[in-house]
Homo-oligomer: A and B are copies of this chain.
Amino acid sequence: MATTETADRTNGEATGGCPDDLAYDVFARNCPSRDTLKHITDRWGSLTLGALLDGTFRFNELRRRVDGVSEKMLSQTLHALERDGLVHREAQQTNPPRVDYALTPLGHQVARQLRALIDLVEDRMPQVLQARERYDAEHTAR
């Protein structure tokens, strides 16, 4: 079991704590908060949380909303987020099966912070693109 998590678990996920076990400092390696931050900010993690801010969705609905995610990665991402207590999974024992994913209260708090970041980035993209042009211009001739 937990097959799709292999990569995740073999990764870091140090069960040991931070130097000071009261503070969870992401800047220290071997701190579990770094792993959680990674789950959240990961390519698919961030987009999945962002998508779930809009409501409750079924597996394939999510796949469509998070453009480009594969079945495997969405599944893996959802498991990690569920394990961290950010996503709630509700399966109805019907045929065909129906599974709904939603944010937990904690997940909602996180997702809102994340969304604020995403909105900021989207809003400032013109500045970013402009900065890139400047940078590239200076570094190609140089």
Residues of chain A touching chain B, judged by Cβ–Cβ distance below 8 Å, are 1-2, 23-29, 32-33, 36-38, 40-43, 46-47, 50-51, 65-68, 82-86, 106, 109-110, 113-114, 116-118, 120-122, 124-125, 127-132, 134-136, 139-140, 142
Tallying the copies of this chain within the complex gives: 2
Known contacts A128-B84, A131-B84, A136-B83; A46 and B41 CB within 8 A of each other: yes
A135 CA / B9 CA spacing, docked (Å): 14
Query: What residues on B are CB-neighbors of A1 within 8 Å?
Result: 139-140, 142
Known contacts A2-B139, A37-B118; A24 and B125 CB within 8 A of each other: yes
Query: What residues on B are CB-neighbors of A121 within 8 Å?
Result: 24, 26, 33, 36-37, 40, 110
Query: What residues on B are CB-neighbors of A142 within 8 Å?
Result: 1
